[in-house]
Structure 1
């Protein structure tokens, strides 16, 4: 666990080496644009979360065709923007496409500067190369940071921990250290292609903020009938996470997140092993982590145009 303190209903931790104090629970942005969530409810969820102490806001350029960012941007007006640490993600792999998407996010979120922007869906072993090559997306984010449009840079992915390690390795080769990394951390992951075992120690070693996602795997883990939502959230809070991002589409789900924080106490090794034993058999084939074993969560697989030009196309443009 990151260095933490508790005030009122929320615990706060340090985001890696940035020194930023962030809520142990973060509000996931994807759910804000779902069909069952109208704009009135979305604004109420965001503002209630902030009023009760959640200050980490998650979002993405591609969530619900921009609707999630639009709603969060509206919710953060009337004095709420300065109360939060705002994060979003972009899919572009080329400098041109990444810059275009970032401008869209800034406009939708109604802000001049986003606290953390992350390269999204690092799912393929070629993604790091495309991002860090000449004319790649990293150039766009570095220039945007220099221009004051963003403060910190990270990346996300949910497919395979070895791809995360490849991204970290290439960044080191280029002399760059990410500020945060978002990854699936849940009670099934502990047993199957484990990000917790392979990636988290590397992040801690380099002082990179650990952002947990898919803690309930969008409900898939609960369908295994092995553990409760609170146990899932407690497991992620027990890891050296800065923030555990959870999707919220109802007020009672928001209450559940605060209840998880209120009741959390660091596990003893005996408690941890007992909890992991509940999911060991169910986890072995990845059945309840479909984002690792299928492409149904891979937005950029079904929308390759989001990635922008392939390196060969970029090279041809430069030579023209």
Structure 2
């Protein structure tokens, strides 16, 4: 993974796409939170881009579409051309994926999205539903051919085995993802570790690594073992193309840039010293509730977002 830098930001290559993107990505979920009004959201996005962040994260389901709508407004007046825009869809069926993608394009006010990812691959059946002839993959390939999106990836936060299964099922259909998004943080190394089990496979395949939940929305910090800067440094030190972080204030934006400014590749001894501080707190997944509970699983709470199961399977059940 090659790197370059500007005055405030570092840039890395996004896997097999060859795209150059900022090492820090702006998390879209926080832009639609109740304590972040629209004007603040626009200021955050504009300031981030003006200072060198190019990777924009979002999802069709974030805050009922408010996050995408606000980002769409922020990307007017020439800002769209300065960013690599990503969003996610939940639909597993062709019909639902098409609907969600079209809604995302309208909210974001763009004619194409650089990267669309299958959101919340949390269940072993998700890959099969996506790659079914009636599934969402057919819809995204059609949209890609129509110029509505450029690259396709997937996300998940539950279990490394499910990420590996997604790659295996994609292999069976002759498809290689451009990106994969996964939790990468100082606790992950100690419990059902994505860094240990999935990251080497992504690097081997040259799939762009999108790190998320470096602080788990602040939950990791409640362990009183590490600082925000240490969390970001750890994630930046992994072979990540982008570390996506939630930013709900200009002060937190400053913190992200400070992490980049002070980042230096860590020695193995430095990494182990940092992980030693979190080994006890991280050993049971207590501070990674996205792995150990359904609190973070929006598609579990809203199963209709996934769409219907393939008709042929329903026919098998009724035969």
- 1:307 and 2:306 correspond: yes
CA distance in 2, matches of 1:148, 1:56: 20
- Misfit runs of 4+, over 6 Å: none
Aligned to 2:85: 86
Instruction: Work out whether 1:290 is the aligned partner of 2:289.
Output: yes
Q: How does 1:221-300 map to 2 (within 5 A)?
A: 221-300=220-299
Following TM superposition, by how much is the alpha carbon of 1:134 offset from its aligned partner in structure 2, in angstroms? Answer: 1.1
Paired residue for 1:195?
Answer: 194
Partners of 1:306 and 1:30 lie apart in 2 by 17
Q: After superposition, what is the alpha-carbon deviation per residue over 1:81-135, rounded to whole angstroms, capped at 9, x for unaligned?
A: 0000000000000011001000000000000000000000000000000000111
TM-score relative to the length of structure 1: 0.98
Q: 2:29: which partner in 1?
A: 30
**Hey, what does 1:157 align to over in structure 2?**
156
Give distance in 2, aligned partners of 1:127 and 1:311. 12
Helix, strand or coil at the partner of 1:211: strand
Q: Which residue of 1 aligns with 2:184?
A: 185
Residue pair 1:88, 1:118 contacting (<8 A) in 2 also: yes
Question: What is the Cα deviation at residue 310 of structure 1?
Answer: 1.4
Matched, 1:172 2:171: yes
CA distance in 1, matches of 2:7, 2:17: 24
Render the CA deviation track for 1:263-311: whole Å, top value 9, x for unaligned. Answer: 0000111111100000001001100000000000000001000000012
Change (3 A) 1:43 1:313: farther
Counterparts of 2:67 and 2:207, CA distance in 1: 26
Superposed CA offset, 1:151-181 (max 9, x none)? 0000000000000000000101111000000
User: For 2:284 and 2:190, how far apart are their aligned partners in 1?
Assistant: 9
Q: SS where residue 69 of structure 1 aligns?
A: helix
The alignment's TM-score, normalised by the length of structure 2, stands at 0.98
* Counterpart Cα distance in 2 of 1:95 and 1:311: 9
User: Would you say the 8 A contact 1:93–1:136 is kept in 2?
Assistant: yes
Aligned residues: 317
Partners of 1:311 and 1:222 in 2: CA distance: 42
2: distance between equivalents of 1:89 and 1:272? 32
Report the RMSD for the aligned CA atoms in angstroms: 1.2
Q: Which residue of structure 2 aligns with residue 57 of structure 1?
A: 56
Match in the other structure for 2:102: 103
Shift of 1:224: 0.2
Residue matched to 2:207 = 208
Match of 2:124 in 1: 125
Preserved CA contact (<8 Å) 1:94 1:137: yes
Quick one: distance in 2 between partners of 1:100 and 1:165? 28
- Cα distance in 1 between the residues matched to 2:302 and 2:174: 31
How far did residue 315 of structure 1 move? 5.3
> Conserved in 2, the CA contact under 8 Å of 1:39 and 1:71?
yes
1:8-27 matches, cutoff 5 A: 8-27=7-26
Alpha-carbon deviation of 1:314?
6.9
Shift in Å at residue 312 of structure 1? Answer: 4.4
CA contact (8 A) 1:185 1:215 kept: yes
How much has 1:140 moved relative to structure 2?
0.6
Q: Distance in 2 between matches of 1:47 and 1:251?
A: 11
Measure, in 2, the Cα distance between the counterparts of 1:313 and 1:205. Answer: 36
